[in-house]
């Protein structure tokens, strides 16, 4: 009992008698710590903002660099296609088994001239192309841009050495697709990398290989692709498909800092431990990873100056706050309590704000708070309407993006046929394209009857069968009861296009695409199935442009009730199922 009394006496010595003095003491305790905390938080926010902005800028730079690299690399892919489609070169390779050494010597001269003619006649970008070599069935080389030899494979047992190499095996497994390797497959130039494409005999049902096409590209291409200042960090191109991952650009002995071997994630983890900020982006054409790294200490030099300035400003604000609080503390206690009560009621949900204030600073704050509370209610309503408009704008933007995709692929084919003088087929393809676009325009409406969407697919299959000499069969098993329903246009056609390019085109021989359609309760069910090459990981579809666009459009237009399911088995084919619930006006109109 006596100890408690002594404690109370000690406390009473430090208790101010006047309310103003108590307010002033409270202001000291309440204002100084928050201001210095504000300085500390401001410093961290500035640092985090600087790092986030730098990361976003670097990600945008990497994405732009990847798109530039795609343009250069796709030019090489298109060149390979022109060479592979050249009938004269294909005939020479097919007949190389029966030619004499003198005939092969003449073939060497003719092949090089044909390669030069293809390159010159189509104005391909060859700035970064070191050389281009064609291998026949005897692995005799016919090269543009270098002597006719196979580099390190120019040995007596050349055939066995080439066929036992890892790059040859990958080229065969790719079934005619262009495969990019992070090194020169001929092994005679460390400053270049290679693209390899297998020649397949179109007259052979099983697509028998008749040769190889090896294109060697200079790694200096990445220097112009990244085009960044060393003061802003450095760039890497890494092939993460192997373990350990392989640095494509720059050469591993030229990287700064030195990077230990390991997987891509291990490399990035080691660099982050060394104090580097890492940004990465996957290139679509090569599936290599483009990486930007910069030391955090260099990046945060400005942030340190911001922290110092913030500390000085916070200290100055603290002094000003104390001075003002000392002057006005005696006159603002009562209106502050009134204002506090008003805020508490508003915070609890009350929107009926009453009461009046005197015509002073605190009164102005009170009136301002009342006005802000009313404006906040109006802003909530405006925000709701703005979100609805933004949702509609996103839907229209996604719909607009998917239309040029089909036009680009078809015009590319018409151009190729015109170059090969297949004018009647080009005219038929142009007519099918015209009819297809009449349906896709649909008088500006975003929805289309199911039967017109199927008609659109028929025109598309006409175009593709002209391109691929009737390789594809098309079957539609759609319930007649759903043909009149309205659905979002350009939904099924991109799925058929995906089946052609990623499922059936790499497959040897003929293939088929089948569409199912029926009513499932209040929903419409559609499935697009092919018997193509399939895939191991269906998550690969998230990286493609077409399927991701269809999925996003369905979600934006039909909401979360829609579904989009992909299933696939390697060598057996792929099946994509979608389920949508038509809007009420679409059901009443066409049910």
pLDDT of residue 574: 92
pLDDT of residue 403: 53
The whole-chain average pLDDT of the chain stands at 77
Average pLDDT over residues 20-35: 67
Model pLDDT for residues 342-363, shown as the tens digit of each residue: 777 777 666 666 666 666 666 7
462 — pLDDT class (breaks 50, 70, 90): confident
Residue, of 12 and 538, whose pLDDT is higher? 538
Q: Residue 579: beta bridge partners? A: 525, 563
62-76, 406-420, 476-490 — which is least confidently predicted? 406-420
pLDDT of residue 387: 54
Kindly write down the DSSP assignment for every residue of 161-227, as one continuous string: HHHTSHHHHHHHHTTT--EEESS-TTSS-TTEEEEEEEEE-TTSTT--EEEEEEEEEETHHHHHHH-
Q: Which two tokens stand for residue 58?
A: 């670097």
Q: Highest mean pLDDT range out of 102-111, 173-182, 383-392, 540-549?
A: 173-182
Q: Which two tokens stand for residue 534?
A: 């399939």
pLDDT of residue 388: 44
Model pLDDT for residues 220-276, shown as the tens digit of each residue: 888 888 876 566 778 888 888 777 888 888 776 666 677 777 888 888 888 888 888
* Contact predicate 329/23, CB 8 Å: yes
Going by C-alpha positions, the residue among 137, 80, 90, 82 that lies closest to residue 111 is 90
Model pLDDT for residues 54-79, shown as the tens digit of each residue: 888 888 888 888 888 888 888 888 88
Model pLDDT for residues 94-122, shown as the tens digit of each residue: 776 655 566 666 676 777 777 778 877 76
Gap between the Cα atoms of 461 and 456, Å rounded: 9
């Amino acid at each position: 009992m006596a100890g408690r009394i002594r404690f109370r006496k000690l406390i009473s010595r430090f208790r101010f008698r006047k309310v103003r003095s108590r307010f002033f003491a409270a202001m000291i305790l309440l204002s100084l710590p928050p201001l210095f905390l504000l300085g500390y938080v401001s410093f961290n926010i500035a640092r985090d903002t600087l790092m986030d902005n730098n990361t976003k800028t670097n990600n945008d730079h990497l994405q732009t660099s990847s798109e530039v690299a795609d343009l250069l690399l796709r030019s090489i892919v298109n060149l390979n296609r022109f060479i592979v489609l050249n009938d004269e070169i294909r005939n020479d390779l097919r007949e190389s088994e029966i030619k004499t050494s003198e005939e092969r010597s003449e073939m060497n001269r003719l092949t090089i001239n044909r390669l030069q003619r293809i390159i010159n006649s189509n104005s391909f970008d060859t700035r970064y192309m070191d050389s281009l070599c064609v291998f026949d069935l005897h692995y005799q080389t016919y090269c543009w841009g270098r002597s006719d030899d196979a580099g390190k494979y120019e040995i007596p047992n050349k055939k066995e050495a080439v066929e036992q190499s890892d790059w040859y095996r990958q080229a065969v497994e790719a079934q005619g697709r262009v495969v990019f390797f992070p090194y020169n497959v001929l092994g005679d130039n460390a400053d270049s990398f290679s693209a390899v494409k297998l020649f397949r005999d179109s007259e052979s049902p099983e697509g028998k290989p008749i040769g190889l096409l090896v294109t060697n590209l200079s790694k200096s291409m990445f220097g112009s692709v990244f085009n960044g200042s060393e003061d802003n960090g450095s760039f890497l191109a890494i092939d993460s498909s192997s373990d350990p991952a392989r640095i494509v650009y720059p050469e591993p002995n030229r990287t700064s800092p030195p990077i230990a071997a390991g997987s891509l994630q291990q490399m990035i983890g080691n660099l982050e431990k060394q104090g580097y900020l890492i940004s990465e982006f996957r290139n679509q054409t090569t599936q290599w990873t483009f990486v930007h790294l910069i030391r955090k200490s260099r990046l945060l030099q400005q942030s340190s100056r911001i922290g110092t300035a913030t500390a000085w400003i916070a200290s100055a604000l603290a002094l000003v706050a104390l001075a003002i609080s000392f002057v006005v503390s005696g006159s603002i206690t009562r209106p502050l309590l009134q204002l506090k009560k008003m805020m508490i009621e508003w915070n609890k949900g009350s929107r009926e704000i009453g009461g009046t204030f005197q015509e002073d600073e605190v009164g102005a704050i009170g009136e301002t708070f009342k006005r802000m509370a009313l404006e906040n209610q109006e802003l909530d309503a405006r925000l709701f309407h703005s979100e609805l408009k933004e949702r509609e704008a996103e839907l229209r933007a996604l719909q607009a993006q998917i239309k040029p995709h089909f036009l680009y692929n078809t015009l590319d084919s018409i151009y190729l046929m015109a170059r090969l003088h297949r004018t009647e087929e080009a005219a038929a393809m142009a007519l099918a394209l015209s009819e297809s676009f009449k349906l896709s325009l649909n008088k500006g409406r975003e929805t289309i009857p199911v039967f017109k969407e199927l008609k659109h697919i028929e025109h598309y299959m006409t175009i593709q069968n002209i391109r691929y000499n009737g390789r594809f069969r098309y079957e539609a098993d759609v319930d007649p009861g759903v043909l009149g329903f309205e659905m979002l246009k350009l939904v099924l056609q991109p799925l058929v296009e995906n089946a052609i390019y990623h499922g059936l085109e790499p497959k040897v021989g003929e293939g088929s695409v089948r569409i199912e359609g029926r009513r499932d309760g209040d929903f419409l069910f559609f499935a697009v199935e092919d018997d193509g090459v399939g895939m191991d990981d269906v998550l690969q579809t998230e990286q493609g442009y077409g399927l991701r666009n269809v999925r996003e459009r369905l979600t934006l237009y039909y909401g979360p009730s829609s579904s989009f399911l992909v299933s696939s088995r390697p060598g057996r084919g792929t099946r994509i199922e979608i389920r949508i619930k038509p809007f009420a006006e679409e059901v009443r109109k066409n049910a």
